Chain A
């Protein structure tokens, strides 16, 4: 794991805000060991997947647990816990 874990949350949240594929300013990342949990709301499943993909690029070596909620017409009612 190359990234200094103490600063990973800030770098990750900043990347999700600034990367043109995501531009999401409201995502909260938390780090536990080598796992990153992502939480927040996005408007479509496609955007949820992009947030997960960009986070994986920004935090190589970490396991990304994408708990982003999709709101609006695409919202699902069930959450799959893995």
Chain B
């Protein structure tokens, strides 16, 4: 079993310094890897990125992240990513993937920020004014980058990590009028094509945790205000030769004996 902890939308700044770190005190006992689903900062400044790096530095598990819209607000997304990499060794993904050798097996994580665009029957198109075309194009391009990352992973068990949602199931609770700004079905199409074991996203603070792609991949909205706990832990059965995997949620994990073995 591979235990994947995930949380997003932590929106850290100096005001909240130390809080995330405190909430991660048991991460080494509860999980094998920590995924951060974007919106790690409030304004996307290098200073806030340094606070995030202090929060997640030297954890007993590897940390994998994508950036969110807040992390781009100061037009310094590349700086934010570099600080997380250099100061804390976080794997920051955008159209890229990382393969981790974990006690429960080899796990691939493919990540991209994602974007809005909408869902089946209610999605935008690259048509009309340049601004509308640019909006739709950005959604398609970041989804395509996720697809490339998913195809590049060499691991039997693969998780897709985004900030925006691949499905609308997990947006229920948000006003339906803004769903097209909260996610894009093209992400789910790539996730299904790759046969991912799990898709994790954030961004929709008023949505709900659990959803499903059309292809049957479990989706989890791990935005901190949705979880109302430090992080979710999702247990993936190690893939067999056919690539089949199962997902067990954290409640079941609590009843299961903790996996033995060293943590990274």
- A residues engaging B (CB < 8 A)? 20, 23, 25-26, 41, 43-44, 46-47, 71-73
| Residue B19, interface by CB 8 Å | yes
B11 touches A71 (CB 8 A): no
Known: A23-B70, A26-B205, A26-B206. A73 touches B19 (CB 8 A): yes
In the complex the two chains form, is A20's CB within 8 Å of B43's CB? yes
Are A43 and B43 closer than 8 Å at their CB atoms? no
> Contact check: which of B22, B70, B73, B205 meets A41 at CB < 8 Å?
B205
Q: Verify B206–A43 contact, CB threshold 8 A.
A: no
Interface residues on B, range: 10 to 19
B220 proximity list for chain A (CB < 8 A): none
The answer on a CB contact under 8 Å between B225 and A71 is yes
- Residues of A near B205 (CB, < 8 A) are 25-26, 41
Residues of B that sit less than 8 Å from A by CB = 11, 15-16, 19, 22, 42-43, 70, 73, 205-206, 224-225, 228
Q: Are B228 and A71 in contact (CB under 8 A)?
A: yes
Residues of chain B contacted by A43 (CB below 8 angstroms) = 11, 16, 224
Distance in Å from the Cβ of B76 to the closest Cβ of chain A? 14
Task: Please name all residues of chain A whose beta carbon is closer than 8 Å to the beta carbon of B206 when the two chains form the complex.
Answer: 26
Which residues on the B side are within 8 Å of A72 (C-beta)?
A: 19
Closest A residue by C-beta to B41: A23
Q: Which A residues are in CB contact (< 8 Å) with B43? A: 20, 23
B residues near A20, Cβ cutoff 8 Å: 43
**Are B42 and A23 interface neighbours, CB within 8 A?**
yes
11 A-B pairs in the complex with CB atoms less than 8 angstroms apart: A23-B73, A25-B205, A26-B205, A26-B225, A43-B11, A43-B16, A44-B15, A44-B16, A46-B15, A73-B19, A73-B22
> A41 vs B122: C-alpha distance in the bound complex, in angstroms?
29
Please give, as numbers and ranges, the residues of chain A lying within 8 Å of B19 by CB-CB distance: 72-73
Q: Which residues of A contact B228 (CB under 8 A)?
A: 71
Shortest Cβ gap from A74 to chain B (Å) = 9
List, in ascending order, chain A residues with CB within 8 A of B11's CB: 43
CB nearest neighbor in B for A18: B73
Residue pair A47, B73 in contact (C-beta under 8 Å): no
A-B residue pairs, 8 tightest by C-beta = A26-B205, A23-B42, A41-B225, A46-B15, A44-B15, A43-B16, A26-B206, A44-B16
CA distance A66 to B232 in the complex (A): 30
- Asked if residues A47 and B70 are in contact (CB atoms below 8 Å), the reply is no
Known: A20-B43, A47-B15, A71-B228. 14 other contacts (CB 8 A): A23-B42, A23-B43, A23-B70, A25-B205, A26-B205, A26-B206, A41-B205, A41-B225, A43-B224, A44-B15, A46-B15, A71-B225, A72-B19, A73-B22
Q: Which residues of A contact B225 (CB under 8 A)?
A: 26, 41, 71
